[in-house]
């Protein structure tokens, strides 16, 4: 997708997350200079398979697996430092040298142990099915203007004083929510003292680094986490994550202006999955749901939870196309459908007997819609070895054409397996 005029591209999930953004970013990163994560945190799990090795990256951008790529974590991310360091250590153990290739925004907020306690306690009543990584409470602190940022580690005495107030407050909330857990100030202070020497050398003005790179005609990939329907503003609220997962979040969360972004690639599975609670209109009934889960290996990369599986939902993807301003689509896991003789595709919904082509704002309404399906013929042949569109069976090409027509955005990539080389680039 890069060309001399298209040097800054956002990659977003256009369903409920887990679409295979990690693989797409890995593929595109071959031609990128910078790869930037801009929202979310350790709730993400981006899987990349290289040869017989599988890497699951939670916070480090998927571009790190390309030796000449520099990776940045933007101000919009809520950073869980201990997880970051274990990720870095595990990459080093597996022969990936990250020295001088990873920087973190000095403006990024930290996720601390008390955030995880609050997340667990509020799950007891809210039952959103969160990943339990403290994401919601960390963003609450950020927007409540009481967060602790990477830059605060430069003045540890101040940070410790702030912590006292935060830990007290967290303990009051825990008591109010009926939790027996308590956060401990000493543990938090020791944690910051331990983190500071390792984190501060990586701290940088990430927005400035991206700006300068773009001025120098370098290629920048902004890597989204989760998916459009989990966006706090545009998703199936309240069954969403706490950040802006849509492309607008890329500018804010990386520290560049929206006019610097030239293209937005939306990643979708050839079917649909969701992990956590909330409506999923095209969820497949047994046995198809289980079959998709088995064939697609649909278990959460972070929590191991089984993902709910269903058919491609064009209403969702049309909506994601609009709210993200998608300029291209990447369809992943086409091979998972290889053995289905018939493949339903949700084209619109029926709500209270009326056709509904747009995403309702009310989550209850989305829970009540009935998908309108059309059935596409399957191809019943393996697609994993296809490297160009012409290698695909006719019915698979027709399926992709239909997804493209229903979504209103051109298909630019098709992924036909987990490996790096199992990708088709569609040249316009
Ligand atoms: P949180 O982001 O942990 O607060 O979880 C809120 C919702 O987003 C839950 O339904 C999670 O399952 C979902 N979620 C968060 N991160 C991901 C992801 O990377 N993939 C899929 N779902 C996610």
Q: From the CA of 277, how far away is ligand 1's center (Å)?
A: 9
pLDDT at residue 303, rounded to an integer: 81
Give mean pLDDT, residues 337-363: 96
- Tokens linked to 255: 């520290």
> Rounded to an integer, what distance in angstroms lies between the CA atom of residue 91 and that of residue 88?
5
Whole-number Å distance between alpha carbons of 217 and 203 = 24
Angle formed at CA 226 by CA 225 and CA 229, multiple of 5 degrees: 135
pLDDT at 341 over 90: yes
Q: Residue 375 pairs with which residues in a beta bridge?
A: 344
> Ligand 1 pocket by C-beta < 6 Å: which residues?
17-18, 43-45, 128-131, 133, 135-136, 225-226, 230, 239, 241-242, 275-276
What was the pLDDT predicted at 47? 87
* Secondary structure of 6-70 as H, E, C letters: ECEEEEEECCCCCCCHHHHHHHHHCCCCEEEECCECCCCCEEEEECCEEEEECCCCHHHHCCCCE
What pLDDT does 295 receive? 97
What is the Å distance from ligand 1's center to 118 Cα? 16
> From atom 9 of ligand 1, which residue's Cα is the shortest distance away?
130
CA-to-CA distance for 401 and 185, rounded, in angstroms?
57
Q: What is the DSSP letter of 151?
A: G
Choose among 36, 41, 120: nearest CA to 78. 41
- 177 pLDDT tier (thresholds 50, 70, 90): very high
Interior angle at CA 107, CA 105 and CA 109, nearest 5: 100
pTM score, two decimals? 0.96
Per residue in 29-68, pLDDT (tens digit) is: 999 999 999 999 999 988 888 888 889 899 999 999 999 9
Give 397's DSSP letter. H
């Amino acid at each position: 997708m890069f060309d001399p005029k298209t040097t800054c591209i956002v990659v977003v999930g256009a369903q409920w997350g887990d679409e295979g953004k990690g693989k797409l970013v890995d593929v595109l990163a071959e031609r990128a200079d910078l790869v930037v994560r801009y929202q979310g945190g350790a709730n993400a799990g981006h899987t990349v398979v290289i040869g017989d090795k599988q890497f699951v990256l939670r916070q480090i951008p998927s571009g790190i697996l390309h030796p000449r790529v520099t990776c940045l974590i933007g101000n919009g991310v809520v950073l869980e430092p201990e997880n970051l360091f274990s990720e870095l250590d595990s990459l080093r153990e597996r022969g990936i040298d990250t020295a001088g290739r990873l920087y973190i925004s000095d403006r990024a907020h930290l996720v601390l142990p008390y955030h995880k306690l609050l997340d667990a306690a509020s799950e007891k009543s809210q039952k959103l099915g969160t990943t339990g990584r403290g994401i919601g409470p960390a963003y609450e602190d950020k927007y409540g203007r009481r967060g602790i940022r990477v830059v605060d580690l430069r003045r540890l005495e101040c940070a410790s004083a702030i912590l006292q107030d935060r830990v007290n407050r967290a303990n009051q909330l825990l008591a109010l929510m009926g939790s027996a857990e308590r956060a401990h100030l000493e543990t938090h202070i020791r944690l910051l003292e331990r983190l500071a020497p390792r984190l501060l050398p990586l701290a940088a003005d990430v927005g400035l680094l991206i700006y300068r790179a773009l001025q120098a005609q370098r290629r920048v990939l902004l890597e989204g986490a989760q998916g459009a329907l989990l966006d706090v503003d545009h998703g199936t609220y309240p069954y969403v994550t706490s950040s802006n997962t849509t492309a607008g979040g890329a500018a804010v969360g990386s520290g560049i202006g929206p006019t610097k972004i030239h293209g937005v690639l939306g990643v979708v599975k050839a079917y649909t999955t969701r992990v956590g609670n909330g409506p999923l209109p095209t969820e497949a009934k047994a046995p198809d749901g289980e079959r998709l889960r088995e064939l697609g290996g649909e278990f959460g990369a972070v929590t191991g939870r089984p993902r709910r599986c269903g058919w491609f939902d064009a209403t969702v993807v049309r909506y994601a196309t609009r709210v993200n301003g998608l300029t291209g689509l990447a369809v992943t896991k086409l091979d998972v459908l290889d053995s289905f003789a018939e493949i339903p595709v949700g084209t619109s919904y029926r709500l209270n007997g009326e056709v509904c082509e747009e995403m309702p704002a009310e989550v209850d309404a989305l829970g009540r819609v009935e998908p309108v399906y059309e059935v596409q013929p399957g191809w019943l042949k393996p697609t994993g070895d296809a490297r160009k569109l012409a290698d695909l069976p006719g019915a698979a090409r027709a399926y992709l054409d239909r997804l493209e027509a229903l979504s209103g955005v051109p298909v630019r990539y098709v992924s036909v397996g987990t490996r790096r080389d199992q990708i088709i680039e569609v040249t316009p």
